Each structure stands twice: as structure tokens, then as C-alpha cells.
Amino acid sequence: MVVRIKSRKSKHLGNRTYGGGNKKNRRGKGCRGGKGRAGWNTHKWLLTIKNNEHKRRKRGFASVRTKPETITLTQLSKRIQEGDYKEEIVLKKTKVLSNGDYNHKIKVRALGFTAKAREKIEAAGGEATEL
């Protein structure tokens, strides 16, 4: 098979700009649409889609306040029965919720308690103290 190699210049002969667009283009740094990542959200959007940049970007703001972890009284009593806690329970980052039954005489120290959870723990003979 014969491969014909022809210069692309010959297609542009007689043309003033050789495929460069307007005669004002290709004069310095003025025709590139900004510097660096400028315009990736507007006039260079097709580049953004081509490189999947629009999927990698983070949007919006992250909340500064974080909700504490929660644990219910049923989960606490399961942990006590499994033998994780024996004398005192210390939960530094968790809040104790009142869902379920609690029948253990163990001190519970946590970040916070709901009112019912505090009542149930004290009714069972334990102590509920906040850190």
C-alpha cells in the first residue's frame, strides 16, 4: 500500500492566516481565553467535561458544627452484657438516647443525655454524669 505524504501547508497556500483564524489571532498571548484554569466554568466548559473535572469538584460549604454520635440504652445494655464495660462507662463524643430498657447499676459518663435516658439510668440504680 502506498502512503502519500503531503504537506499540510499546501492546503493553506494563498490563505493569509494558515488556519489561525482572524488575522488578529496568534499575536502574543491574547487569543487563548485566559491564563491557566481561567474559563473552565464558562467558555472552556467542553474541556471541563472532557477531563471529567466537573465531577471531581467540591461544591458548597461544609458545616462547621458536627452532631455528636448517639447511642441508645438498648445498645448500651448489649455492650454491658457482652462484657465491654464493667464498672464505669465513659463516652466522650456520644449522647445517650432513651430508646429501650436499661437495668444495670453502672455509672455512665457521656457528652449528653436526654431527660428520659437520665431518668431510666437513675431508676436502675446507676449514675448519669455529663462530661
Please tell me the distance from the alpha carbon of residue 51 to that of residue 57, in angstroms, as a whole number. 12
Q: pTM of the predicted model, to two decimals?
A: 0.50
pLDDT by residue (tens digit) across 84-121?
877 888 888 899 999 988 888 889 999 999 999 999 99
Residue 108, classified by CB atoms within 10 Å of its CB into exposed (0-12), middle (13-18) or buried (19+), is buried
Q: Which three cell numbers stand for residue 108?
A: 455512665
Question: Residue 28 is inside which H or E element, if any?
Answer: none
pLDDT at 113: 93
The topology (CATH level 3) of 69-130 is Ribosomal Protein L15; Chain: K; domain 2 (3.100.10)
Please tell me the distance from the alpha carbon of residue 117 to that of residue 129, in angstroms, as a whole number. 11
Q: What share of the chain is helix, strand, coil (3-state, %, to 5)?
A: 25, 20, 55
pLDDT at 118: 92
Q: Domain ranges for the chain, please list them.
A: 69-130
